[in-house]
């Protein structure tokens, strides 16, 4: 009998959720996603020190001799995620997601400017924008930035998405892809209610199922990529979703597990459901977001967490730059 992973791949595009290049080589996903936390973790691993050092050396050359270590580290920070993305694209056949600085999640113009810069870096390296998804937080401002970027042929992956109102706004903005965070939704409900949830009762599973059915019912082109899983039960309950981005540990568990994997999400079933369409504008978005405690809390927490990871990464780069400078001057 085929493994759960093999069966899942027959109905869902499997994506690797990691910055660990060795793990990507092992599981051979179609696409790969990264985020600030994953990049910061990978950048601190000895096996990827050469990537970090190359980026720092290039940053030093580009910034010039008069630039301070802080200025060089800031320049390197802007290019490190793309450096990892380029390495990942050497392995996978599909697309890589590279995230805009979470600290500008409420600034549409800066998000657009940063996204254009990321795409420019890839294109200067000979990589088509068709192979890159720009990740933006699903704030109203992030969604509006994505709407403009999509018009420019820059495809977007909307992250930190927890509520149907965010998903509807993304679909109306005609973004390429959304990444609802299954596990983080579960985390919130477990903490809030003190209950544990299994299988189809998992609030994260229910949220993604609702979003998927809404999209298919109304024929939106935006695709759904479930993310942030806590266990393989959440994954198997979403078999049939357009894409699922899965951490290496859970990919290994799926690969080593056998059993029947029935399809749970299906466009034909969604089309038969009685679903009410939700008109969406900024006022409605903000009202629904304020009413959804879980989405409000987890979006705020997610932006703060990714921002902290970026600050830690900047410190790591500054420390490594100092070490390299000492080696050169020794």
Which residues are catalytic, by number?
135
Name the pairing type of β-strands 156-161 and 177-180. parallel
User: 83 with 58: CB under 8 angstroms?
Assistant: no
**Residue 221: DSSP 8-state:** S
Q: Are 304 and 246 in contact (CB under 8 A)?
A: no
User: Which residues touch 222 (CB under 8 Å, ≥6 apart)?
Assistant: 170, 171, 174, 175, 176, 177, 178, 215
In 204-324, DSSP assigns E strands to 223-226, 243-246
The C-alpha atoms of residue 244 and residue 225 are separated, in whole angstroms, by 5
Burial of 110 (0-12, 13-18, 19+ CB in 10 A): middle
Backbone angles phi, psi at 227, to 5 degrees: -145, 170
Q: How far apart are alpha carbons 156 and 175 in whole angstroms?
A: 6
Q: Are 157 and 177 in contact (CB under 8 A)?
A: yes
| Cα distance between residue 9 and residue 2, in whole Å | 11
Place of tokens 């000492």: 326
Q: In the chain, at which residue ranges do the beta strands (DSSP E only) sit?
A: 13-17, 31-33, 96-99, 132-137, 156-161, 177-180, 223-226, 243-246
């Amino acid at each position: 009998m085929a493994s759960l992973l093999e069966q899942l791949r027959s109905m869902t595009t499997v994506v690797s959720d990691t910055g660990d290049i060795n793990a990507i080589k092992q599981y051979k996903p179609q696409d790969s996603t990264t985020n600030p936390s994953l990049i910061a973790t990978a950048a601190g691993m000895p096996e990827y020190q050469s990537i970090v050092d190359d980026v720092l050396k290039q940053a030093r050359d580009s910034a010039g001799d008069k630039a301070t270590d802080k200025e060089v580290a800031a320049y390197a920070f802007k290019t490190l995620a793309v450096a990892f993305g380029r390495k990942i694209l050497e392995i996978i056949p599909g697309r890589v997601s590279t995230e805009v600085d979470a600290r500008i999640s409420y600034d549409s113009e800066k998000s657009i400017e940063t996204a254009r810069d990321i795409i420019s870096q890839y294109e200067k390296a000979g990589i088509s924008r068709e192979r890159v998804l720009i990740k933006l937080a699903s704030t109203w401002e992030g969604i509006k930035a994505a709407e403009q970027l999509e018009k420019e042929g820059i495809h977007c992956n909307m992250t930190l998405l927890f509520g149907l109102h965010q998903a509807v706004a993304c679909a109306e903005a005609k973004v390429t892809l959304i990444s609802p965070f299954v596990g983080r939704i579960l985390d919130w409900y477990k903490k809030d209610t003190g209950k544990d949830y299994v299988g189809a009762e998992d609030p994260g599973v229910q949220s993604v199922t609702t979003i998927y059915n809404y999209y298919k019912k109304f024929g939106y082109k935006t695709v759904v990529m479930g993310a942030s899983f806590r266990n393989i039960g959440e994954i198997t309950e979403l078999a049939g979703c357009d894409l699922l981005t899965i951490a290496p540990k859970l990919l290994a568990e799926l690969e080593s597990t056998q059993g029947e994997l029935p399809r749970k999400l299906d466009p034909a079933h969604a089309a038969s459901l009685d679903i009410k369409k939700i008109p969406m504008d900024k006022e409605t978005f903000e009202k629904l977001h304020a009413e959804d405690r879980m989405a409000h809390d987890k979006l705020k927490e997610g932006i703060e967490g990714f921002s902290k990871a970026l600050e830690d990464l900047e410190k790591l780069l500054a420390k490594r730059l100092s070490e390299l400078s000492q080696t050169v001057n020794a």
